[in-house]
């Protein structure tokens, strides 16, 4: 089993290979245990951040006199070569060395000899991995934010194009009041804007340096943590050594933000799935984002939104995984924390891919405006407008509500929309109704009447789009 696993992952163990951390143990680690406890299969993706952190650590050690400048230069040269080897696919990852940190250190010793053994002075794998994961997550938030911004921009493009396209607004999935498709997409935009703020807040909180906490209690060497933080671009240092090595709040917070963002994408997906069905036929997602059926040649399945709706549960599971992982851990570091990486990495990959494909899909969406408008005519969407009209004529709201209810019931029997009823038919329910009632009973009149900030009037929709574009432009400059 171990050999098969090694062949599949490209990770091999040499009988003569000495594990750097095995001096205390009197017997070699059981082969299966060695494989079972190793993390290099998945944490090797941290190699760039591990090398970055090691270069900063070596630089700091030379500044405080623990390393000579010649030793620092040798270490940096060796680490740079290792990074080149990994990028070229020429690095030999080994399960025997357990993780990304020990693999890189072992190779460094091979390259530069005894000096390589000095790199780990004043640190532990506990604070090293905590630093690597923070660096990695910080780096990955940037492309996530870029894809999120690209999706927001795509939404604004469609919203501007469809600022006057009438769409039924729904409550309880029943026709409620008319809105425009542009206005509806701006609701999606607002959700994503909050997600962007949460990502930025998460990035601020995770940007604290654990390195220097060593195993759990700090180190006796005269380290300069502020210097290391500056070299690595951290805003601050973790103030307590116990918390520094055991804290995974930043990973949980990111997963929480990601779960909420995916929940929003799932809500969008649900609407797109409904709207693209033959029963609605409001939108077309583009053939590139759909698939056919293996047996029914007429089918065009909305696979991308369906899959994102499904992947949302995967991200939820990763969040619960991390919460459960941490809920009963005593201070400080425990081996349990090796299990933090796979759910975090999976969430990063899932979120990044989902945002990318969604931005691409939204850029190519087309709208069936006639079907949207006809649907808005079917549910007496302007009933509230008639009630508002009567209130402005001095009718108490509750009486106006009753009048409109009777009018709708009559329209249903006659199979007519309110706007299709004659003045005489409407006046049988209230003498306060006059010819100008038809200005508010049309779909366009209803939408235009809501001419305030956050309203459905097309001019307000365009105004909101302009403000949103300015927000995104300012973010792009950051």
Where in the sequence numbering do the catalytic residues fall?
172, 293
Q: What is the rounded distance in angstroms from the CA atom of residue 120 to the CA atom of residue 53?
A: 11
Q: What is the rounded distance in angstroms from the CA atom of residue 443 to the CA atom of residue 465?
A: 22
Structure tokens at 32: 């299966």
Q: What is the rounded distance in angstroms from the CA atom of residue 467 to the CA atom of residue 461?
A: 10
Angstrom CA distances, 335 to 57, 126, 129, 397, stand at: 24, 10, 12, 66
What is the crossing angle of helices 100-112 and 69-87, to 10°? 120
Q: What is the rounded distance in angstroms from the CA atom of residue 242 to the CA atom of residue 333?
A: 8
Q: What three-state secondary structure class fits 443? A: helix
SS3 sequence of 386-419: HHHHHHHCCCCHHHHHHHHHHHHHHHHHHCCCHH
DSSP for residue 169: E
| Burial 120-150, CB ≥16 within 10 A → b, else e | bebbbbbbbbbbbbbbbbbebbeebbebbbb
Which residues lie below 8 Å from residue 47, measured CB to CB, with a gap of 6+? 83, 86, 100, 104
- Residue 322's nearest CA partner among 346, 357, 286 is 346
Q: What is the rounded distance in angstroms from the CA atom of residue 195 to the CA atom of residue 155?
A: 15
Which residues lie below 8 Å from residue 297, measured CB to CB, with a gap of 6+? none
Q: Which residues pair with 291 in a beta bridge?
A: 301
User: Can you say whether the dihedral through the CA atoms of 415, 416, 422, 426 is positive or negative?
Assistant: positive
Structure tokens at 332: 């400080």
- DSSP run (H or E) holding 48: helix 47-63
Q: Which residues pair with 283 in a beta bridge?
A: 367
User: Can you say whether the dihedral through the CA atoms of 42, 48, 53, 55 is positive or negative?
Assistant: positive
Q: What is the rounded distance in angstroms from the CA atom of residue 37 to the CA atom of residue 48?
A: 22
């Amino acid at each position: 089993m171990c050999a098969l696993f090694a062949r599949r992952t490209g990770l091999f163990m040499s009988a003569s290979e000495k594990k750097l951390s095995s001096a205390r143990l009197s017997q070699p680690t059981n082969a299966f245990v060695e494989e079972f406890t190793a993390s290099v299969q998945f944490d090797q993706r941290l190699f760039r951040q591990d090398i970055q952190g090691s270069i900063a650590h070596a630089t700091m050690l030379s500044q405080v006199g623990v390393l000579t400048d010649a030793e620092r230069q040798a270490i940096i040269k060796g680490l740079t070569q290792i990074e080149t080897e990994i990028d070229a696919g020429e690095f030999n990852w080994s399960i025997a060395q357990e993780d990304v940190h020990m693999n890189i250190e072992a190779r460094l010793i091979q390259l530069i000899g005894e000096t390589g053994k000095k790199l780990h002075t004043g640190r532990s794998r506990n604070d090293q991995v905590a630093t690597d994961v923070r660096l990695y997550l910080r780096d990955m938030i940037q492309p996530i934010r870029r894809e999120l911004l690209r999706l927001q921009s795509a939404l604004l493009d469609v919203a501007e194009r469809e600022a006057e396209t009438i769409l039924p607004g729904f409550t309880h999935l029943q026709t409620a009041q008319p809105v425009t498709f542009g206005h509806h997409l701006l609701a999606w935009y607002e959700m994503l804007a909050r997600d962007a703020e949460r990502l930025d807040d998460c990035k601020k909180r995770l940007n604290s340096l654990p390195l220097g906490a060593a195993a759990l209690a700090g180190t006796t060497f005269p380290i300069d943590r502020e210097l290391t933080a500056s070299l690595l671009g951290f805003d601050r240092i973790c103030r307590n050594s116990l918390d520094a090595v055991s804290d995974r709040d930043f990973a949980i917070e990111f997963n929480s933000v990601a779960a909420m963002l995916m929940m929003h994408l799932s809500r969008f997906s649900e609407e797109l799935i409904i709207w693209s069905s033959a029963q609605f036929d409001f939108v077309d997602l583009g053939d590139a984002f759909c698939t056919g059926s293996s047996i029914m040649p007429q089918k065009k399945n909305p696979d991308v939104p369906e899959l994102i709706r499904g992947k949302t549960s995967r991200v939820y599971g990763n969040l619960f995984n991390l919460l459960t992982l941490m809920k009963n851990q005593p201070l400080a570091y425990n081996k349990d924390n090796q299990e933090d990486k796979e759910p975090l990495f999976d969430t990063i990959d899932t979120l990044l891919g989902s945002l990318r494909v969604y931005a691409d899909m939204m850029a190519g969406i087309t709208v069936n405006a006639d079907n949207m408008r006809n649907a808005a005519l079917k549910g007496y969407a302007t009933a509230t407008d008639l009630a508002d009209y009567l209130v402005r004529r001095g009718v108490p709201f509750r009486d106006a509500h009753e009048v409109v209810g009777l009018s709708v019931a009559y329209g249903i029997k006659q199979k007519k929309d309110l706007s299709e009823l004659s003045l005489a038919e409407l006046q049988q329910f209230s003498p306060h109704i006059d010819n100008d009632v038809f200005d508010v009973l049309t779909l366009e009149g209803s939408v235009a009447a809501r001419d305030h900030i956050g309203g459905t009037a097309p001019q307000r929709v365009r105004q909101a789009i302009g403000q949103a574009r300015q927000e995104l432009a300012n973010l792009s400059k950051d």
